[in-house]
Amino acid sequence: MNNDSLKKLLYRFRMVAIAEGISFLILLGIAMPLKYFYNLPEAVKFFGWAHGALFVGYVYLAFNVMTEFKKSIGWLALAFVAAILPFGTFALDRQLKKEQAAMS
């Protein structure tokens, strides 16, 4: 893979990671309280579906980044843990942003 393709892959992964992190925070901070305090399960249904789709895309792209950038399986595990912790993907994004800047 050439340098431009690697930059695009990393950028795509960063954008999906941010979207996944935002969807997780919305699910935890807005949709779940709406479900349990206001009896509106539709919020969890919608945001849960969106978050699930973003999570699958995140894991897929994380695996691609691991293989194309020759990162360790430990990095993939760290990326997975970042996806299940609130604000974790934003912390990972800081590292990825530095990597992307070094590529330019």
Note the pLDDT of residue 87: 95
Note the pLDDT of residue 51: 96
Q: What pTM did the predictor assign?
A: 0.92
Note the pLDDT of residue 103: 85
Rounded to whole angstroms, the Cα distance separating 31 from 50 reads 12
Question: Mind listing the pLDDT tens digit for each residue in 29-76?
Answer: 999 999 999 999 998 999 999 999 999 999 999 999 999 999 999 999
- Average predicted confidence (pLDDT) for the chain: 95
